[in-house]
Amino acid sequence: MREGPHVSGIAALVGEPARAEMLTALMADHALTATELATVAGIGKATASAHLAKLVNARLLAVHTQGRHRYFRLADRDVAQLLESLMGVAFRTGALRLKSSPREPALRHARMCYDHLAGALGVQAFEVLMAQRCFKSDAPGLHITPAGIAWFTRFGVDANAVTSQRRLMCKACLDWSERRHHLAGAWGAALLQRLFDLGWAWRVPGTRIVQFTPPGERAFQHTFALPAAADRAAAQPVPW
C-alpha cells in the first residue's frame, strides 16, 4: 500500500528549470512581479504566467494584487526550507551550474534565506550563539535559553516582540554552501533585522545578497568572534 504525501507532483513543479529559477529568486522573502520573474528565468511573460499559475495552484507561491500589478512570493517558510535543503543536496552531490554567477562568492559569504541570515556569516553567528549557550538542542528541537534572551536584549532586540509572534521561534537550518547550520525562525529573523537596523548590512536590491559595510563587518566579527579570535575580540570595546 502506498502511504504518505504524494511528493512527485511537488518535485516535478520545483524541478522544472524556469520554475526553479523563479522560486530561488523569491528566497529573499521579497515579492516580485511576473515580469521580473520572467526576466530572472530567461523566459517570455506568457510562459512565466503559466508557470506561476501552476506554482500558485500548488500552494508553493502566494499572490497579492495591488492595482494593476500582481506580486508573487513564497507561500510560507516551509517552502523556503525545502528550497534551501534542495540546494544543499545539489551542492553536496556536485549538481552545480556549468557557469557560476559572478555573485556566487557574495552569496556564499552572506545571503538571505527567506527572512534570516545564511552563508558563512550566518553559520558563524549561530555557532557563536550556540557556544555561548544562547540556544540548546534536545529531542523536540532547538530552544532559546535565558542566556539567549539576555544576549538578544543586550543586542537591542525586543524579546517580547519576538516571542509574541505566532511562528516557529528557532530552528537550525542546514546551510547549502557551508554544510553547517545557521539560525532560522523568529530569532533568526530578529537577528538579521537588527543587523539591518544597526546599519551593519543591507540587502542588495534584486538579489539575496546581504552586503556588509566595512565597519559593519568589523563590528559583526567582534560580536560573533569565533573561539580562536575570542581573546582578541574581548580586548576591544563592544560596537553596539
**What is the rounded distance in angstroms from the CA atom of residue 65 to the CA atom of residue 31?**
11
Higher pLDDT: 238 or 168? It is 168
- Residue 158: CB atoms within 10 A of its CB come to 12
* Cα 132 to the center of its chain, rounded Å: 22
The answer, as to whether pTM is greater than 0.85, is no
Residue 167: the pLDDT is: 83
| Contact partners, residue 67, CB within 8 Å, separation at least 6 | none
Residue 98: the pLDDT is: 43
C-alpha cell read off for 115: 527572512
Is 94 in contact with 192 (CB distance < 8 Å)? no
Is 112 in contact with 210 (CB distance < 8 Å)? yes
For residue range 94-148, what is the model confidence (pLDDT) as tens digits? 655 544 455 678 888 999 888 899 999 999 999 999 999 999 987 678 899 999 9
3-state SS of 138-204?
Answer: ECCEEEECHHHHHHHHHCCCCHHHHHCCCCCCCEEEECCCCCCEEEEHHHHHHHHHHHHHCCCEEEC
Helix (H) or strand (E) holding 116: strand 116-118
**What is the rounded distance in angstroms from the CA atom of residue 171 to the CA atom of residue 142?**
6
- Amino acid (1-letter code) at residue 114: Y
DSSP state of 237: P
Q: What percent of the chain has pLDDT over 90?
A: 40
